[in-house]
Chain A
């Protein structure tokens, strides 16, 4: 039997965007914001609550034997892992489109998406106060990469609440990094969180000018 690499590629099976999800032909440029956080912290919920399209998923596969090393193809030790990333979209204007990517906190998967953080306007680190420590590595990586970010505490009903200075101390954050609470399920709250990030980026731009 022939090896068919195109099983999923036949035109008939691929459905494009719904009519209401089609971007205008004038859409000329796009920017991105990354929403990053631990598993189950509400990244996809936040993306979905503000996105104008139903959140989409892009996937990438990797093999644990290593990337770009194909000469042990077929060896039994190689297992494929699929890593998914959900994203949404907001048409800012007829020309400008904002994409929101929700990506897992495990930094080891970030490289799968070519330049996910390169060129990103900034990032929202979504945290759950019940599992604060899962965000430590993410925050450290963003600092290392020089990606500006804010902290958004997803306000789960049974999560402990901490005064903002205690959070700032625990997360060892610069005084300027905004810390806000949000309800990722609420469109307005998620929108306000993004606005906080944008105002922070704007203040950084002003300070640099």
Chain B
């Protein structure tokens, strides 16, 4: 019998491979989905995003009560213009970095600042109308096959 190229692909054990002699002793138990609207403990863990309601953890942390900015790790940020000479250095740096689109996660990485700090700064820039936020495409309740197909098409080109 010819051993399959990849035993995991067809599920047949490969007797010739001594690694198959090992038995699995660990065992997990399946869990059911919990309603997303369940009350969260801690600082708004996994807060659901309802219509127009972005994640609100930031404001729990900072106590700010300004307009909510639904910033996600992959929200693309683009500067609307150059920083003014009187801008805070943090703001100037952010505006300089996002002359071309950059995600909030990338801004955090390039600035070597905690992600939560960057989201606070971005919220301020959004409030001052100095940056655009291109909202992430979210996994909606309704399937968006064309989006999935676009990603698949892009991966195939790799």
**A17, B102: Cβ atoms under 8 Å?**
yes
Q: Is the interface of A mostly helix, strand, loop or mixed?
A: mixed
**A144, B33: Cβ atoms under 8 Å?**
yes
B55 surroundings in chain A (CB, below 8 A)? 114-115, 118
**A144, B31: Cβ atoms under 8 Å?**
yes
- The digit string for A55-99, where 1 denotes a CB below 8 A from any CB of B, is 011111100000110000000000000000001011111001111
* Also in contact, A111 and B139, with CB within 8 A (given A90-B155, A180-B9): no
**A91, B154: Cβ atoms under 8 Å?**
yes
Q: What's the tally of chain B residues with a CB closer than 8 Å to chain A?
A: 90
Q: In the complex, A32 Cα to B105 Cα: how many Å?
A: 11
* Also in contact, A14 and B137, with CB within 8 A (given A30-B103, A90-B158, A98-B154): no
- The digit string for A100-125, where 1 denotes a CB below 8 A from any CB of B, is 01000000001111111111111000
Some 12 contacts from A to B, beta carbons below 8 A apart, are A11-B96, A25-B101, A58-B108, A68-B42, A96-B137, A113-B73, A115-B49, A118-B72, A162-B22, A181-B8, A195-B155, A202-B152
Measured CB to CB, the residues of A under 8 A from B are 6, 8-11, 14-17, 22-25, 27-32, 50, 56-61, 67-68, 87, 89-93, 96-99, 101, 110-122, 129, 132-133, 136, 139-140, 143-146, 153, 158-167, 169-174, 179-181, 187, 191, 194-195, 198-199, 201-202, 204-206, 208-209
